[in-house]
Structure 1
C-alpha cells in the first residue's frame, strides 16, 4: 500500500507533460457471446453456470440469433470470463453499456 501511495504522489507532482498516461478504463461494458464456436456443449455449460439457468433455457439463449449478454462490468473484470470462453472456441465482444456511450 505504501508503494502505491508513493507512486501516486510522484505521479501527482509531475507536470502534465511528464505524467505517463493512466490507462484505466472504468466504463461499464457488456460481454456478449457472438459465436458459440465448435465446443458448444462446454460453452453452454459456462452460460448455464454464469446466468444460473436450466439447461434448456441456456440452450435456447445460445441458439437464439441475437448476441447473448453473459456479463456486465469493466473490461478488467470481464477478461477472465472472455478468456474462458475463448479457450473453448467461443467468440465474444465488449459492448459499452448505454450509461457509458458518449453522446455526440
Structure 2
C-alpha cells in the first residue's frame, strides 16, 4: 500500500462526481479511507489475507479501486500504469473472477466524462449523445449503459418543467431496507456521513429518517433506494 496517493487519483476521488445512473461511479474513497476501501479486493476484510495474485481472473497486485457504482462493481486503476495516465478499468462484482474491462479512458478523461454526465442529469437525449460520442459503444460496459439510458422513461427524462408537486417540503424515511440491506446501508452512509456499521445499525430501527428537504432534491434518493429494493415513504412537513 503506497503511503502517497498519486495526485491524478487523489483529484479524481476528491471530486466525488455523481450521475443519475446506477452503473457509473457513485461511491468514492476519502483520502483517509483509501486503504480500507480496498477491502474485499486487495485483501480479505476479516482475516486480512492478501487476495492479490498474478493468475488470470484474480485481483492483480497493481490494481486499486478508485470508485464503486451502486451495485458495488469496482472501477480501478493499475498503479504501474502512471506513465499512461492511469487507464481505468471496470469489473463485475460477484462473478467469481475478476475480468477487467478497459473503459477506454484514463483517469482524467473519465473524470471529464462523468462531469458532463452529471450536468446532463436525466436529459435522455443528451446522455445518449455523450455515451455515443465519447465511448466505444461496442464495449460491453458502455453498451449496457447506453441500453439502460434508452430505457429511461421519455416523459420523465426530457421534461424541463418543474412539477409543482416536487416543491413540497417533507421527510423521507426508509420503512424497510429490503433484501439488499448492506447495499442500502452503503448508499445511506454517504448521505449521513457515517461508517457502514453505524448505517447498518440505524437500519434496524423503524422508519429510519433519510433526510428532510424538498421532494425535488430528494427524488433521486427515492428512486435509487427503490432500485436497491428498499421501501421508502414520504411525509409532508410544515415549513
Given the two structures, how large is their TM-score scaled by the length of structure 1?
A: 0.66
Tell me the residue number matched to 1:45: 186
- SS of aligned partner of 1:30: strand
Unaligned runs of 5+ in 1: 1-21
Tell me the residue number matched to 1:82: 222
- SS of aligned partner of 2:164: coil
Matched, 1:63 2:204: yes
Matched, 1:96 2:220: no
Which structure ranks higher in relative contact order (CA pairs < 8 Å, sequence separation ≥ 6)? Answer: 1
Matched-pair contact (CA < 8 Å) for 2:182–2:200: no
Tell me the residue number matched to 1:14: none
Q: Give 1:23 deviation, angstroms.
A: 5.2
CA distance in 2, matches of 1:59, 1:37: 12
Q: How many residues align?
A: 77
Tell me the residue number matched to 2:195: 54
- Which of residues 170, 173, 176 in structure 2 aligns to 1:35? 176
Larger relative helix fraction = 1
Off by >2 Å, runs of 4+ in structure 1: none
CA distance in 1, matches of 2:163, 2:201: 38
CA distance in 1, matches of 2:208, 2:163: 28
Given the two structures, how large is their TM-score scaled by the length of structure 2?
A: 0.30
CA distance in 2, matches of 1:90, 1:75: 18
CA RMSD between the two structures: 1.7
